[in-house]
Structures are given as C-alpha cells and as structure tokens.
C-alpha cells in the first residue's frame, strides 16, 4: 500500500469544488455551534445534549411535515418554539441546580442525551425517517466548479441570517445588554437589577431553539435517525472552544475548521481528514488555550 493511495493529486476544478463544499460545511457547523456558543458563553453550561436538541428539531419537523402537513419554511420557526419550550423545561429541571458545577452539567446533560435518544427511538422506532425538501429548493447549481444543491445554498443563507439575528439580539437590544452583562459577571449584573436567573432561562431556551432550527434543516439534508445528534456534538464543541466562546470567534473558527476539513478531505478522505483536524485542534489548544477571539483571559 503506497502513500499515493491516500493522496489525491491536485487539480484545480475539483479543488475549487471542495472549497465550495467547505463553505457549506462551515455553515452547517456554524449553525450547529451557534446555540452552544450562546449557552456556554453565557452560562458556562456544557450541554452534551445539544446534538440531541438538533435531533429533536429534525424529528419535530418530520412530525409537523408528515402528520400535519406544514410547509417546510414554516417548520423552522415552529421547531424553534418547540425546542425553546423543551429547553425551558430542561433548564428548570436539571440545569438550574448545576450552575456552579460545570463538570457535573457535562455529565448530567450526557445522561439527558441518553434519555432523549432512547425516548425518540421508542416513540419513532430506529428506522431512518425523511424530511422532504420543498420543491422550490429542489435545484442544483451546476457550473464549472460548483456542484451545490439548493438546500445547501439555503443553509448557507440561513447561517448568515441566524448569525445576523443573534448578533442583532446581543448587541442592539436591551435584552442583549442584559445577557452580555450576565455573561461578564452574574453577581454584578444581578446587583444592577437584572434578573439573572430569568436571563439564564431565556438564553438556554434561545440556544435550544437555535439547535431546533439547525435540526430542521439538517433533517432535510440527511436522513433522520435517533442518534444523528452524535455526529454534530464534537464538531460543535470544537467550533465553540477554538473560537473562544464568542460569537465572532465561533464564526471565525467554523470558517477555519470547515474549510480545513474540506481541503483535507479532498486530499485524503473524510475520516482521515477528521483525524488530522482533531489532532491540529489539540495542538492549537495547547498553543492558544483561550481560543481565537476570547473576550476574557480567564478560562472557565
């Protein structure tokens, strides 16, 4: 077995196509990581069930679409609301008691993810389900070096929209000021009259809702099965951690990671690219543990 079997020779057009696919990958990872950035950034809560929130978003879209016949575009805000409600219940029940114990939240949310996966498996069965792509997205862009499906283009657009909306909420509204105050120092914010617990709940719900929207779109991209969440959680965490747990950081790190993954996949293959990428991540965290664009010097 020679090295050549691993290494695809370079040729321009397929490489450019790989770069474009990279942009699609960036958008997917960014959307998946957005909710986690908000939740971890504000509350320091490691939500290992985030992948399952995405999965629940996908399944709720499936239910809305097949059982009630709601059009795809409307499913997105509806899954936002559904997941926000689920997130509210979870925050009240489980997360609230674990704010000062980050490692324990990691473990408790992992237990939660087990319950969610098995619960969905019991309700819906383990066979793959499908979310239909709406007809107006059923096109392919076929140019010289671009082979992109309409859905992927939609996801790229949605990524930009969601980041813009989140940025607007955080930096242009009073609620955003409260959230950022709580992010910086919970006690001081509370002493200014901000109800920190309510902010925490709202933030968790918002993050969960974002995961729900992500899931609705990812469900259309690939098939639905109960443990599909697992495929997003590690990447989402890496995006958040490398980015330095800020919104801008997540955008930057998602761009870097997504594009690098695509480039490595082009030269070798998907799984080997993953291996190289994760090793690079570990090395990077050694050099710059606080991430790319961290706000504070202290690590949580």
Partner 1 sequence: MNGNIYHNRKAQWAIYLAAFAALALLPIFFDSPFTLNLLARYCVFALLAVSVSLVWGYAGILSLGQAIAFGLAAYGMAMTMQMQYQDPVSDPIPSFMLTNELKTLPLVWAPFWSTPIGLILTFGVPTVFFIGFGILMFQARVAGVFVAIMTLAMTAAWYSMAYDMQPFTAGFNGISPPLPFQIFGTEVDPYSAGAYWVCVAFLAVLTLGAKFLMQTKFGLIVQAIRDDAERARFLGYNVAYYQVVVFALSGFLAASAGFCWVLIVQYVSPTSLEIVFSISIVIWAAVGGRTSLLGAIIGAFLVNGMQSFVGDELQQVWMLILGAIFIGVVLFLPRGLAGFFELVLGLFSGRREPQKSDWSTRRTSAVTKESAE
- Which residues here bind partner 1, judged by CB under 8 A? 1, 46, 94, 97-98, 101-104, 106-108, 110-115, 117-119, 121-122, 230, 234, 237-238, 241, 269-272, 274-275, 277-279, 281-283, 285-287, 289, 299-300
147 membership: H or E segment, kind and range: strand 147-149
With contact defined as beta carbons under 8 Å apart, do 79 and 207 qualify?
no
CB-nearer residue toward partner 1: 49 or 78: 49
Nearer to partner 1, 36 or 224 (CB): 36
- Residue-wise DSSP of 220-275: HHS-B-GGGGHHHHHHHHHHHHHHTSSHHHHHHHHHHHHHHHHHHHHHS-HHHHHH
Contacts of 87 (CB under 8 A, 6+ apart): 53, 204, 205, 207, 208, 209
Report, in Å, the least distance between residue 247 CB and partner 1. Answer: 19
Give min distance, CB of 271 to partner 1, in A.
4
Written as six digits, the tokens of 234 are 């590690």
Torsion angle in degrees (nearest 10) through CA of 25, 257, 207, 66: 20
Q: Which is nearer to partner 1, 185 or 270 (CB)?
A: 270
Q: Provide the minimum distance between the beta carbon of 23 and partner 1 in the complex, in angstroms, as a whole number.
A: 23
Phi then psi dihedrals of residue 142, to 5 deg = -120, 100
Closest to partner 1 by CB, 94 or 177: 94
Strand partners, 141: 148
Shortest CB 236 distance to partner 1, Å:
11
CB of 127 to partner 1, least distance (A): 14
Closest CB to partner 1 among residues 65, 109: 109
């Amino acid at each position: 077995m020679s090295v050549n079997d691993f290494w695809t020779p370079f040729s321009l057009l397929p490489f450019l196509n790989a770069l474009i696919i990279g942009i699609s990958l960036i958008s997917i990872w960014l959307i998946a990581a957005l909710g986690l950035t908000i939740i971890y950034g504000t509350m320091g809560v490691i939500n290992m069930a985030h992948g399952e929130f995405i999965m629940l978003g996908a399944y709720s879209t499936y239910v809305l679409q097949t059982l009630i016949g709601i059009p795809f575009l409307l499913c997105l805000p509806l899954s936002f609301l559904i997941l926000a409600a689920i997130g509210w219940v979870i925050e009240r029940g489980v997360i609230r008691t674990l704010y000062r114990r980050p490692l324990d939240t990691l473990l408790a949310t992992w237990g939660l993810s087990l319950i969610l996966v098995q619960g969905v498996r019991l309700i819906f069965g383990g066979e793959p389900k499908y979310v239909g792509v709406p007809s107006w997205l059923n096109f392919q862009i076929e140019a010289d070096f671009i082979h992109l499906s309409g859905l992927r283009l939609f996801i790229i657009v949605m990524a930009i929209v969601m980041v813009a909306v989140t940025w607007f909420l955080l930096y242009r509204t009073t609620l955003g000021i409260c959230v950022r105050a709580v992010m910086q120092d919970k006690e001081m914010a509370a002493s200014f009259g901000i109800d920190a617990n309510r902010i925490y709940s709202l933030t968790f719900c918002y993050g969960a809702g974002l995961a729900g929207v992500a899931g609705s779109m990812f469900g259309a991209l690939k098939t639905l099965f109960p443990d599909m969440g697992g495929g997003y959680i590690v990447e989402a965490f890496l995006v958040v951690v490398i980015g330095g747990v800020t919104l801008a950081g997540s955008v930057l790190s998602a761009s870097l990671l997504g594009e690098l993954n695509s480039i490595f996949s082009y030269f070798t293959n998907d799984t080997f690219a993953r291996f190289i990428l994760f090793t690079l991540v570990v090395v990077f965290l050694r050099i710059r543990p606080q991430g790319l664009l961290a706000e504070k010097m202290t690590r949580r």
